[in-house]
């Protein structure tokens, strides 16, 4: 949540920070602000999108070569000019941007009020900047020392970057639980919540770890821990390209990322799947095959769309590997004192690799002796670093807030894991293993075939853009696809939608069915096909409107449904990789027809780094 950008160097800071904030706007877009250091620190912040900052015409925007910026997803205090970041301390000497939540802000604020501090905003961030200032002034400490002491008392998650009057050639940053990347340039440095604002200027980056401070000048980066011990920076090379974070001629990032999927899945399979030699290479699994083969159980922890990918993986792993699998919401798992120990494997699924609940969940499971395997997209992310092993999805940057290509890449990695472990355990026969490899190799082309039907799906969307409610139903491997389809529609169109196992319809939701309720069935050819046909007949008998995702050549359901969206036939274990695509396109087109910003749905942010 929230996006942070900072620059220190010899170039004008304002355009670099402004452009960077636009690239990070998917992380939050309630309000935005920039502080620049010229003769002194000047602050400009506005409610609304980052574009509002383009109205700033002060001379400092042309001359200042140091600055910090922020685009906000509101936690404490409603979106407003006064609650926008950056925030200044009471003396005006410190200016700070913050991503995260300070959980004990109320008690800290009470202390500060008793000492005479006043507050303009309702934010925890203004409390933090004044708390740092109080420690600094009361003890005559340097800013660096005051930050170290303050952050030892702070409870919660944070990335902060601080500017101080009188020190125009320095920024100080710190992190715990939220991401921070430093771009290393020649006589200049860039700081951001992720690499997208940095890639245009440098591919050399440093990922700051929890409980680390970074003291940054034009020519130097100093890393220290909260104990004031120096840390040697580890510089990595980005594998991201600028073109990956541009729209590439599409109207929206979401549409581009839906159409990226043939390429993103090819990238995910590249170097791993060899259909000619019938081999599958997953280094993170292969190096720990004994751990997986001897596992008592696997617990998958995730949130949102990643949780739906975990549900599909549950079916895959139990079918192919015969290992018990539980799928947990990370937000519940971290609090309910689960029974975890040696012999348990935790698979953490996260697009960003920074999801706060998932991160805390695996930290605690790791302490209890579990083996942690991360399935993430973002290279160098916190979950990737804390895991014992893992597999990157290689989906490329995903800018649209609603996840699309990251979901199918996660499913691809999880399918390969299940196949690899099943083969090693002997629970997956060699002939079946070879057949699935051949099927998986065809998926990118089948994705391309499905996406080619987008105009027909757009026509379906026109019939349902004004719906108030939607019901999504599926069985087996396609049940999680129903959940994911409902989630996408909610996120993008603001239509109330629910996903259910089709058989559960009779246990309550069927009461909602009338001539005004669209019911979307994920009804591809699989072991449940005849049951799905019966469920469709039950809806039609009650005058419900039926939309069906069907396999090519299916005339039975085509004749029963009001509208169909056709996909190629595929093995049922891999069906979600294909059957989810029409629901992504349908949600996109309905959102556009309703005149909504599909890339930035209201109240949402891409990377949930706070509770």
Is the domain of 210 the same as that of 344?
no
- Give the residue from 24, 18, 7, 16 showing the smallest Cα distance to 599: 24
Is the domain of 313 the same as that of 228?
no
Domain termination residue (choose one: 193, 218, 244): 244
Domain for residue 185, yes or no?
yes
Which CATH number is 439's domain given? 3.40.50.10490
Residue 340 in contact with residue 346, Cβ under 8 Å? yes
Is the domain of 176 the same as that of 41?
yes
Domain for residue 608, yes or no?
no
Domain for residue 579, yes or no?
yes
Per-residue model confidence (pLDDT) at position 23: 87
Tell me the mean pLDDT per 10 residues along the chain, length 611.
91 95 84 94 92 92 95 81 94 94 90 95 93 95 95 89 96 90 95 89 91 94 92 84 69 93 93 90 92 93 94 97 94 84 92 82 88 88 88 87 94 96 95 96 97 97 95 95 97 95 82 86 93 90 91 94 96 96 98 93 66 51
Per-residue model confidence (pLDDT) at position 178: 81
The structural domain count of the chain equals 3
Per-residue model confidence (pLDDT) at position 241: 65
Domain termination residue (choose one: 435, 451, 467): 451
d(CA 429, CA 67): 60
**For residue 473, what are the domain limits?**
454-593
Domain for residue 607, yes or no?
no
d(CA 213, CA 151): 10
Is the domain of 434 the same as that of 473?
no
Strand order in the sheet with 94-102: 87-88, 94-102, 156-164, 171-176, 212-216, 221-225, 230-231
Is the domain of 195 the same as that of 320?
no
d(CA 308, CA 314): 10
Contacts of 264 (CB under 8 A, 6+ apart): 394, 395, 396, 405, 408, 409
**DSSP letters of 190-213?**
EEESSSTTTTTT-SEEEEPPTTEE
- Give catalytic residue positions: 2, 606
Per-residue model confidence (pLDDT) at position 341: 85
Is the domain of 426 the same as that of 496?
no
Is the domain of 266 the same as that of 235?
no
Domain termination residue (choose one: 416, 451, 486): 451
Is the domain of 258 the same as that of 229?
no
Is the domain of 156 the same as that of 297?
no
Per-residue model confidence (pLDDT) at position 244: 66
**DSSP letters of 385-400?**
HHSSEEEE-------S
Per-residue model confidence (pLDDT) at position 414: 97
């Amino acid at each position: 949540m929230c996006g942070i950008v900072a620059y220190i160097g010899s170039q004008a800071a304002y355009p670099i920070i402004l452009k960077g904030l636009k690239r990070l706007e998917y992380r939050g877009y309630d309000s935005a602000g920039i502080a620049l250091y010229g003769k002194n620190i000047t602050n400009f912040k506005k409610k609304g999108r980052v574009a509002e900052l383009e109205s700033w015409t002060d001379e400092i925007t042309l001359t200042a070569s140091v600055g910090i910026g922020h685009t906000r997803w509101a936690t404490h205090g409603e979106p407003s000019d006064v609650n926008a970041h950056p925030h200044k301390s009471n003396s005006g000497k410190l200016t700070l941007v913050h991503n995260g939540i300070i959980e004990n802000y109320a008690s800290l604020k009470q202390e500060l009020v008793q000492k005479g501090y006043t507050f303009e905003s309702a934010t925890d961030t203004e409390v933090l900047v004044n708390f740092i200032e109080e420690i600094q002034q009361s003890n005559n400490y340097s800013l660096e020392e005051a930050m170290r002491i303050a952050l030892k008392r702070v409870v919660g998650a944070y990335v902060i970057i601080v500017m101080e009057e009188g020190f125009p050639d320095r920024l100080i940053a710190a992190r715990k639980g939220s991401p921070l990347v430093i771009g290393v340039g020649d006589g200049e440095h860039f700081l951001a919540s992720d690499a997208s604002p940095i890639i245009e200027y440098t591919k050399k980056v440093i990922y700051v770890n929890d409980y680390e401070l970074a003291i940054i000048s034009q020519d130097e980066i100093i890393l220290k821990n909260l104990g004031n011990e120096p840390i040697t920076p580890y510089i990595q090379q980005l594998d991201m390209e600028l073109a990956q974070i541009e729209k590439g001629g599409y109207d929206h990032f979401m549409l581009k990322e839906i159409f990226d999927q043939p390429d993103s899945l090819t990238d995910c399979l590249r170097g791993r799947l060899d259909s000619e030699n019938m081999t599958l290479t997953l280094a993170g699994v292969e190096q720990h095959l004994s751990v997986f083969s001897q596992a008592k159980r696997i617990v998958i922890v995730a949130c949102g769309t990643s949780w739906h990918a975990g549900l599909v993986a549950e079916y895959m792993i139990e079918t192919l590997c015969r290992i018990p699998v539980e799928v947990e919401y990370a937000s519940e798992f971290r609090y309910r004192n689960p029974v975890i120990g040696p012999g348990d494997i935790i698979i953490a699924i996260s697009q960003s690799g920074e999801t706060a609940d998932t991160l805390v969940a695996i930290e605690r499971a790791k302490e209890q002796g579990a083996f942690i395997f991360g399935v993430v997209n973002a290279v160098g992310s916190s979950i990737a670093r804390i895991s014992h092993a893992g597999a990157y999805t290689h989906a490329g940057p995903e800018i649209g807030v609603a996840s699309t290509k990251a979901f199918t890449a996660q499913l691809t990695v999880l399918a390969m894991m299940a196949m690899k472990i099943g083969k090693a355990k002997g629970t997956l026969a060699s002939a079946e293993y070879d057949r699935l490899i051949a099927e998986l190799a065809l998926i990118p082309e089948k994705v391309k075939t499905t996406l080619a039907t987008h105009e027909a799906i757009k026509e379906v969307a026109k019939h349902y853009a004004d719906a108030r409610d939607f019901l999504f139903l599926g069985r087996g491997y396609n049940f999680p696809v129903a959940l994911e389809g409902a989630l996408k529609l909610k996120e993008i169109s603001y239509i109330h939608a629910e996903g259910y196992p089709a058989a559960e319809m009779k246990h309550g939701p069927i009461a909602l069915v009338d001539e005004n309720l669209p019911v979307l069935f994920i009804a591809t050819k699989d072991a449940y096909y005849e049951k799905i046909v019966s469920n469709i007949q039950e809806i039609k008998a009650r005058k419900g409107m039926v939309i069906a995702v069907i396999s090519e050549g299916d005339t039975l359901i085509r004749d029963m449904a009001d509208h169909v969206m056709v996909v190629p036939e595929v093995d049922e274990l891999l069906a979600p990789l294909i059957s989810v695509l029409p629901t992504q396109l349908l949600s996109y087109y309905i959102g556009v027809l309703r005149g909504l910003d599909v890339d930035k749905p209201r109240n949402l942010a891409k990377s949930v780094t706070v509770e």
